Chain A
Amino acid sequence: GEDVEQSLFLSVREGDSSVINCTYTDSSSTYLYWYKQEPGAGLQLLTYIFSNMDMKQDQRLTVLLNKKDKHLSLRIADTQTGDSAIYFCAEPFTGGGNKLTFGTGTQLKVEL
C-alpha cells in the first residue's frame, strides 16, 4: 500500500524557521495530525487541521494543507533547541476503524 512520506532529517539553526513536509495518501482524509516525539518519550499531539482548511496557526506553529497535491507541512517559527525531536504526520487509516496511518517521521536537529 501507499506510505505517508516524510523526509528523514532536517537541521536548522536556532532562531530560524523549520519546515517539515509530509505527503499523505488519502484525498478524503478529514483531519490530519502532527505529533512530536522527544527522545525516549511517547508521541505528543501538537496540532491538527481539518480538511476544509488550508492553514492553521497556533503560536509558533503553522500548518499548511494542499489537498490537491496531498501535501501537508508544519512550520515552526523561531526554532529553539527544545524543538529538537522527531515529528510525525498522520492521517486516518483509509480502511477506517478509528486508526491512524503515521508517516515515517522527520528528525529535527536544532543547532546553536
Chain B
Amino acid sequence: SQTIHQWPATLVQPVGSPLSLECTVEGTSNPNLYWYRQAAGRGLQLLFYSIGIGQISSEVPQNLSASRPQDRQFILSSKKLLLSDSGFYLCAWSPGTGKNEQFFGPGTRLTVL
C-alpha cells in the first residue's frame, strides 16, 4: 500500500532563516505531487505541483520554491522566511489517473517568529 511522509511535523523558525520541508511517497511510482498551505485551519491554497522529476509548476508568486530531485521526493524551500509564511503545509500525491483523487500527508506546522 502507498504511504506518504512529511517532516518535520512542527517547526519554529526566525524571520529571515532558510526553510526545507520534505515529503516522500512509498509504494507507487511516477506520482503527481502537490504542496498546499492551509492558513487559519481552513482553506487550502495550492502552492506547487509536479508531474515528474524536475517538473514543477508554481501556482502563486511567493517566497517559496519547490524541487523534485527524485521520483517520490518533493521538497519545499525558502531562502529567507517571512512572517506570512507561517501556516500548515500539506503534501499530497495522486496516481495521475482519471479520478484525480489526492492523498495527503500528515502536514508540517510552521511558525515563523
Between A and B, how many residue pairs show CB distances below 8 Å? 55
Q: Are A97 and B49 in contact (CB under 8 A)?
A: yes
Measured between beta carbons, the chain A residues less than 8 angstroms from B32 are 98
Residue among A39, A40, A97, A100 making CB contact with B102, cutoff 8 Å:
A100
- How many residues of chain B are within 8 Å of chain A by beta carbon? 26
- How many residues of chain A are within 8 Å of chain B by beta carbon? 22
Quick one: given A88-B44, A102-B44, are A42 and B104 in contact (CB under 8 Å)?
A: yes
Q: Does A13 count as interface, using CB distance less than 8 angstroms?
A: no
Separation of A75 and B41 alpha carbons in the complex (Å)? 23
Q: Are A45 and B101 in contact (CB under 8 A)?
A: yes
Please choose the segment from B11-19, B61-69, B74-82, B90-98 that sits at the chain A interface, where 4 or more of its residues have CB less than 8 A away. Answer: B90-98
Measured between beta carbons, the chain A residues less than 8 angstroms from B92 are 42-43
Q: Are B42 and A45 in contact (CB under 8 A)?
A: no
Separation of A100 and B102 alpha carbons in the complex (Å)? 8
Separation of A58 and B103 alpha carbons in the complex (Å)? 19
A contact face: mostly helix, strand, loop, or mixed? strand
Q: Are A102 and B98 in contact (CB under 8 A)?
A: no
Residue among A35, A42, A45, A98 making CB contact with B51, cutoff 8 Å:
A98
Q: Looking across the interface, which residue of chain A has its beta carbon closest to that of B99?
A: A31
Measured between beta carbons, the chain A residues less than 8 angstroms from B107 are 40-42
Among all A-B residue pairs, the 5 with the closest Cβ atoms: A42-B104, A43-B104, A102-B44, A92-B100, A42-B107
* 22 A–B pairs (Cβ distance < 8 Å), ordered by A: A30-B100, A31-B101, A33-B101, A35-B104, A40-B107, A42-B92, A42-B104, A42-B106, A43-B44, A43-B92, A45-B101, A45-B102, A48-B99, A48-B101, A97-B49, A98-B32, A98-B96, A99-B100, A100-B100, A100-B102, A105-B42, A105-B43
